[in-house]
């Protein structure tokens, strides 16, 4: 299966709904980037995407990026400094393990939705939604390069 076919298996509406629902409970921000190129060092590419999207500019430094590169079968989850400080290493390992299980079985949408839900629960606990909260980043799935 080629990358375009893998990407087409992702139910964009379901992923974007999961982002929206998660963000209703938190001041945190969640973004998903799907790359159509191989990314052997997914963490490095995810960190670059984090900056490219301006995710380090959120008011509370509480953004989370889920990055997926189906061609190389790699992914990474990156949290801004406040998220990393509050959640600890165990959270990231647990999230990666569960997402990996879904991805290995070709359940890309389920893996992303589970990751978003899990990150959203952490963000809601540590960064509850405030009355003056605004959506600082778009909730859509970002494709690199864009899929037409």
Average pLDDT in the chain: 90
- Burial (CB count within 10 angstroms: exposed 0-12, middle 13-18, buried 19+), residue 131: exposed
**Residue pLDDT, tens place only, 30-69:** 999 999 888 999 999 999 999 999 999 999 999 999 999 9
Domain 3-144 belongs in CATH node 2.60.40.10: no
- The kind and range of the H/E element at 124 are helix 108-126
79 three-state secondary structure: strand
- The kind and range of the H/E element at 53 are none
pTM listed for this prediction? 0.92
Domain boundaries of the chain, sorted by first residue = 3-144
pLDDT band, residue 3 (cuts 50/70/90):
low
**Residue pLDDT, tens place only, 90-144:** 788 888 888 999 988 889 999 999 999 999 999 999 999 999 999 999 998 998 8
């Amino acid at each position: 299966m080629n990358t375009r076919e893998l990407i087409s298996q992702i139910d964009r509406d379901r992923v974007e709904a999961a982002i929206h629902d998660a963000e209703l409970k938190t001041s945190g921000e969640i973004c998903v980037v799907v790359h159509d190129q191989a990314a052997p060092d997914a963490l490095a590419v995810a960190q670059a995407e984090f900056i490219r999207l301006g995710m380090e500019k959120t008011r509370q430094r509480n953004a989370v990026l889920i990055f997926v590169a189906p061609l190389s079968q790699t992914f990474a989850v990156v949290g801004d400094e406040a998220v990393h400080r509050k959640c600890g290493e165990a959270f990231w390992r647990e999230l990666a393990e569960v997402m990996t299980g879904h991805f290995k079985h070709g359940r890309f949408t389920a893996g992303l939705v589970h990751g978003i839900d899990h990150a959203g629960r952490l963000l809601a606990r540590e960064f509850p939604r405030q009355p003056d909260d605004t959506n600082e980043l778009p909730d859509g799935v970002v494709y690199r390069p864009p899929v037409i």
